Amino acid sequence: MNDNLTIDEFNALELISKLRKGDTPNACIGRNSKRLNGLKFIKYHKDGIFEMTEKGLQTLFVKRCIEGLRLVSQDATTTLAKDVATFLSKKGHIIESTEGGFAITDKGRDSLVDIDSAPAVRV
């Protein structure tokens, strides 16, 4: 089965991650929950509660890292979430700039080229 997610499915995944107990799921969640559950990104309980799985949380984190890397490549003064900045720094994709903010490394630029050239990605 293909694990590539559409933009709408990513949006639903993000909404589910922010859903609090007792909140009513919106239409975006409703139309995407069956596939997300089947792909093991979320768990749907019989009482109507959605739960993020480790796979779902990891997917959202990777998406945030890719978006952060793109932001840094466009604007070096951008601020990143601490967990994203730490991960990208440890992997050698960004370095802290002396003026504040971050600078993208050659490895980070190469990674963005690889991500953008991947034919099956629908982010």
Above 70 in pLDDT, residue 60?
A: yes
Query: Can you give the pLDDT at residue 25?
Result: 87
Sign of CA pseudo-dihedral 7, 11, 12, 16: positive
Closest CA relative to residue 84, chosen from 75, 76, 72 = 72
Query: Can you give the pLDDT at residue 120?
Result: 55
Number of residues that this document lists for the chain: 123
Model confidence pLDDT, tens digit, residues 16-34? 999 887 788 899 999 999 9
What does the block give as tokens for 48?
């109507």
pTM, two decimals, is: 0.85
Q: How far apart are CA 50 and CA 71, in angstroms?
A: 31
Helix, strand or coil, per DSSP, at residue 51: strand
Residues 75-83 have a mean pLDDT of: 90
Query: Can you give the pLDDT at residue 21?
Result: 79
Residues 80-109 have a mean pLDDT of: 92
Q: Indicate the pLDDT class of residue 52, thresholds 50, 70 and 90.
A: very high
Q: Residue 104: beta bridge partners?
A: 94
Closest CA relative to residue 92, chosen from 101, 83, 82, 103 = 103
Domain ranges of the chain: 7-52, 63-117
